[in-house]
Amino acid sequence: MQPDTSTRDRLIDAMLDGLRRRGYHGLGLAEVLAAANAPKGVLYHHFKDGKSELAVAAIEKASADMLQRLDTLLTRSASFSDALRTWFEAAQKQLHASGFERGCPLAAIALQTSADDVEIRAALARAFEAIRSRLQSALEAAGLSPAQARRNATLIVAAYEGALIQTRVAGRGDAMAEAGAALFALLEAP
């Protein structure tokens, strides 16, 4: 029983960080392996389909992490709006702290897979659906109809990802703050 994280976990973490910064095709395995301090051969023991399988594992971890953070926020916050506000602010801070390099890995991969990357697409679709679903149930709990809740959940996710893109490109946090402010104002409108 060894306390240090296993090679497999280190590979996933390194992949995740790389995906956030460079996206799927922009990221070379050499960089991932160096970050994980792992030799080349070991990758294909843990992920026999190579890069794509590792990416799927990374997506699933990212999805689980996001979901859990979101869940914590939703249960601990006084209101749905408060939770959302904290969520957006945290994303903005994280992006700022990394010099606007570390965005959302889901979006980064989503825009550079082609239709034949079946496994990856499926993993992404599952991840987005899980987050939308969690937001939807929170909105229903707040009194919205299922259909309304679903639509607003999709919009929130869209605003989150879209604002991250603009923020990243601009190299300034404004977009995230602006989109968040507009969204909260609209959602809270009587």
Q: Which residue has 């390099």 as its token pair?
A: 101
Count of Cβ atoms closer than 10 Å to residue 89 Cβ: 14
Distance between CA atoms of residues 98 and 92, nearest Å = 10
* Residue 39 interacts with, from DNA, its own copies, none (CB under 5-8 Å by kind): DNA
Cα three-residue angle 149-152-157, rounded to 5 degrees: 125
Using CB under 8 A, list all residues that contact its own copies.
Answer: 21-26, 99-101, 103, 107-108, 110-115, 121, 124-125, 128-129, 132, 148, 150-152, 154-155, 157-163, 165-166, 168-171, 174-175, 178-179, 181-183, 185-187, 189
3 is an interface residue for DNA by CB under 7 A: no
Name which of its own copies, DNA, none residue 65 binds, using a CB cut-off of 5 to 8 Å depending on partner kind: none
Pick between residue 75 and residue 170 the one whose CB is nearest to its own copies: 170
Strands (DSSP E) found in 18-158: none
Q: Does 29 bind DNA (CB under 7 A)?
A: yes
Residues 27, 66, 108, 109: which binds DNA (CB under 7 A)? Answer: 27
DSSP H or E segment with residue 128? helix 118-141
Tell me the closest approach of the beta carbon of residue 133 to its own copies, in angstroms. Answer: 13
Smallest separation (angstroms) from its own copies to the CB of 7: 17
Kindly give the interhelix angle for 174-188 and 146-170, rounded to the nearest 10 degrees. Answer: 160
Among 50, 90, 118, 148, which residue sits at the site for DNA (rule: CB under 7 A)?
50
Least gap, CB of 41 to DNA (angstroms)? 2
Query: How far is 91 from 25, CA to CA, in rounded Å?
Result: 24
> For residues 45 and 75, which CB has a smaller minimum distance to its own copies in the complex?
45
From the list 9, 35, 46, 184, which residue makes contact with DNA (rule: CB under 7 A)?
A: 46
Maximum C-alpha span of the chain: 59
Distance between first and last Cα of the chain: 56
Cα(108)–Cα(86) distance, integer angstroms: 22
Residues at the contact surface with DNA, assessed by CB under 7 A: 6-8, 27-31, 38-46, 48-52
